[in-house]
Structure 1
Amino acid sequence: MKKPGLQLMFMMPAFIIFSMFIVIPMISSFYFSLTDWNGLNPHFNFIGLKNYRNLIRDTEVWIALKNTVIFALLVTILQNVLSLGLAMLVDGTGWITRFLRVFYLIPALLSALAIGFIWSYMYNPVFGVINLALENIGLSSWTQDWLGDPKWSMLSVVFTNIWQWAGLSLVIYLAGLQAIPSDLYEAADIDGANRWHQFKHITFPLIAPAFTVNILISIIGSFKVFDIIFVMTKGGPGTATESLAILLYKKAFNYNEMGYGTAIAIVMFFIILLISVIQLRFLRRREIEA
């Protein structure tokens, strides 16, 4: 018979660590969001929901939310379409496909800061390799100030983010593809089903779990994106690429409005939680139906 006291003794270290680094910071963050703390002064005032009321009326917050939603939609859709297509291409047993799997995964293993700096140089309008390559192939009219033009800055950051994380999504899709029994495709070939019908009626329904994981990872990661944008544009030009996380950083550390910045963080938390729950319920239902 198991002893409850022994079980609690083994669980206690994990519970203490979890409480110290997760539970207590979450509770304290909610409390600080109800204050006017500037992050430096040990004395601050409890102001209730004032930060949240100001947040609702703050046009900069709505611009940052719009940018975050646009970023999340573009990354989620484009990254998953690209990753699924690449996963189907490298779903084989040859050495070339094995090499490509590793090759596509390498960017996900690199630091986002390093990637941001590298791509910032590549996007440079004067000496960047992208504009130089366009000029050398006779497409000088296509050269742009990729990060300095509001029309292109968001797309440039989105492309860089997809370049980094598409390989990770590819691995997850590949695991789903390799779990599909080959007998199903052989039976479909005998019945005369073409590639599109095989994908529609076999592949797509049976990779539903991988689809669920990738969609959730993409959405959650996109809504809290900070590092890649901070390194490449710092939210600019103007507010063209300013996400909620970038705005949070500016309010808390540039303007010493720690209480207000924490309120933005709490709002981000509930937005991500709500979207994740809705997406999970919808995608899980699709898995069951599939």
Structure 2
Amino acid sequence: MALPEATTRTRVAAKPDRRGRRRRGSLTHPAPVAWAMISPALLFVLVFVLVPLGFAIYISLTNWPLIGSYRFVGLDNYRAMFSDTAFGQSVLYTLLYTAIVTVPILLVGYAMAVVVRARRRGATLLRTIFFLPYVIGLSTLSFITVLEAQPDSGAVNVVLKTLGITGGSTAWLVDAPLATGLICVLVVWGVSGLTMVLLLSGMQAIPPETYESAETEGAGWWQREWHITIPMMRRTIAMSLILSVIGSFLAFTQFFILTQGGPGRATTPVVMYIYQRAFVQLQVGAATALSIALVVVVGLISAGQFWLLREKD
């Protein structure tokens, strides 16, 4: 007996394909399902990233005060930043600070990663000790440093006087070069643990057979590090440098707690200057324009680092 045409079509449509899976009409149009799955993430980005960014751009085009009415001024805030000497001074200081701390953070983090990557006794304890300052945080470390850097009672002067380096009454936080040096040492100590973790993950991803082959060929420790570890960790090193540079450009906490940007404006980084324009001078529109300019500059620097440190074939 002949089957109805509709029944035949149904059986043919349900026939398995060559890979043993049944064809389903819903799989031929996955767009609604995909949009439904990514819609929460898109909504999150829209509400917490795109809308605030658009509103910030609008504020930067006004003379928005912290309290009171405002008016539209166009690009005046952006043009004014090129003639703002205080802003230029903060940019130069931020560049100097970034140049001082970036390489030591990488070198200290790499040295710590080398020490703890071997499966020897005490490696886990050392890994915890090295990472502990980052867990404590720069805020807590900065408050501790304020106490320990006091001219007459701080442990810094006591130790340095015992070693015969200083006279024991150095005012670290009221002299710009000394304050900058102290902050740089604090940051290298507090942040190198994160770099250690990042580099350690890259080191552990290298196959042990690679080192064994090189050792069989007579390569020493330094040759293995230079020709195997560093080239194979190029992306990890690039990520560590980018995070370090971005963190240096956005530095605020340690300067706010230790020096308040002083003496004068000698230790005022860019973010602290923007903070002062917004919440001390009540010029939110101008401060927002400076913030957007900072975001653009940091993005360009990060893109340049990605390009310089890209992995070549």
TM over 0.5: yes
CA drift of 1:61 comes to: 0.7
Corresponding residue for 1:213?
239
Whole-angstrom distance in 1 between the partners of 2:225 and 2:168: 36
Pick closer, same or farther for the CA change 1:139–1:27 going to 2, 3 Å.
Answer: same
One-letter identity of the residue aligned with 1:15? L
Are 1:116 and 1:228, in contact at CA under 8 Å, matched by a contact in 2? yes
Whole-angstrom distance in 1 between the partners of 2:136 and 2:312: 36
One-letter identity of the residue aligned with 2:34? Q
Structure 1 runs of 4+ with >6 Å offset: none
CA drift of 1:92 comes to: 1.1
One-letter identity of the residue aligned with 1:288? K
Kindly tell me the number of residue pairs found equivalent between the two proteins. Answer: 286
Corresponding residue for 1:30?
57
Whole-angstrom distance in 2 between the partners of 1:230 and 1:123: 15
Are 1:124 and 1:146, in contact at CA under 8 Å, matched by a contact in 2? yes
TM-score by length of 2: 0.87
Whole-angstrom distance in 2 between the partners of 1:167 and 1:20: 34
Specify the SS of the correspondent of 1:242: coil
Q: Unaligned stretches of 5+ in structure 2?
A: 1-26
Asked if 1:288 is matched to 2:312, the reply is yes
CA-to-aligned-CA distance 1:244-276 (integer Å, 9 cap, x gap): 100000000000000110011011001000000
- For 1:255-266, what aligned pairs fall within 5 Å after superposition? 255-266=281-292
Asked if 1:128 is matched to 2:128, the reply is no
CA-to-aligned-CA distance 1:153-176 (integer Å, 9 cap, x gap): 112111111111100100111111
- For 1:239-258, what aligned pairs fall within 5 Å after superposition? 239-258=265-284
Whole-angstrom distance in 1 between the partners of 2:143 and 2:164: 27
Asked if 1:187 is matched to 2:216, the reply is no
One-letter identity of the residue aligned with 1:163? W
Corresponding residue for 1:116?
142
Q: Which has the larger radius of gyration?
A: 2
Are 2:63 and 2:71, in contact at CA under 8 Å, matched by a contact in 1? yes
Whole-angstrom distance in 2 between the partners of 1:149 and 1:69: 19
Whole-angstrom distance in 1 between the partners of 2:124 and 2:268: 38
Corresponding residue for 1:14?
41
| RMSD after superposition | 1.6
TM-score by length of 1: 0.93
Specify the SS of the correspondent of 1:239: coil
Whole-angstrom distance in 2 between the partners of 1:143 and 1:281: 47
Q: Unaligned stretches of 5+ in structure 1?
A: none
Corresponding residue for 1:102?
128
